[in-house]
Homo-oligomer: A and B are copies of this chain.
């Protein structure tokens, strides 16, 4: 009974965590833009990345219809959270309204997003450096979470934006993850498979922010949220679950 008028619940931390996890844990999403000529909405599918401050990230060709639309009008919407078997409307999903910010090629932001996007979507290496490709940061402004039957919540910008720690937590993010993977070769797989019931496979860390860490295996992605936001790399290590087996 998905569309049944349901009382909007008071947004609590569990709803915020679920909304963040749906957005940052999505490897792809439906994106809605407004066609600048007809003013019709237009929905298509995009791969999704994330920035360290909690913005969603897309990589698009300058020739594509949604790039033209976003350049004309930065108001956009993402639907994140894919259904599995059974009733598609029984699965949690997030509709989020965002403002699109174009990212200049070869800017510092571009380089950061490129590194993170490549780690999340290794196959994008095939086209990420094509001259007409660019990133947009999609900054969440408001959202509506449907957490399953009768569980509807409204969320605001503050519920998504993380705010970057002032230190250098993200300096050499990929090296930090590489080190982590070398020191504890099975850690990503154990977090994904044991804690998040993900399919068996050789999982690898692909990125983190101060609120969680992401793991990929083939075309799957699992996000593990921390118990509290981290500020330092030390805290990152401490936040990884079951630190007992994380010690060599």
Q: Which A residues are within 8 Å of any B CB, using their own CB?
A: 1-5, 27-28, 30-35, 38-47, 59-65, 75-79, 82-83, 85-89, 93, 95, 97, 123, 126-127, 130, 132-133, 141-142, 144, 146, 218-219
How far is it, in angstroms, between the C-alpha of A79 and the C-alpha of B5 when the chains are bound? 24
Contact assessment for A78 and B43 in the assembled complex, using a CB-CB cutoff below 8 Å:
yes
Contact assessment for B43 and A31 in the assembled complex, using a CB-CB cutoff below 8 Å:
yes
Chain B: which residue is nearest A143 at the CB level?
B42
The count of identical subunits is: 2
A39 to chain B, nearest CB (A): 6
A127 to chain B, nearest CB (A): 5
How far is it, in angstroms, between the C-alpha of A44 and the C-alpha of B88 when the chains are bound? 12
Q: Which of B1, B39, B43, B47 contacts A30 (CB 8 A)?
A: B43
Contact assessment for A1 and B89 in the assembled complex, using a CB-CB cutoff below 8 Å:
no
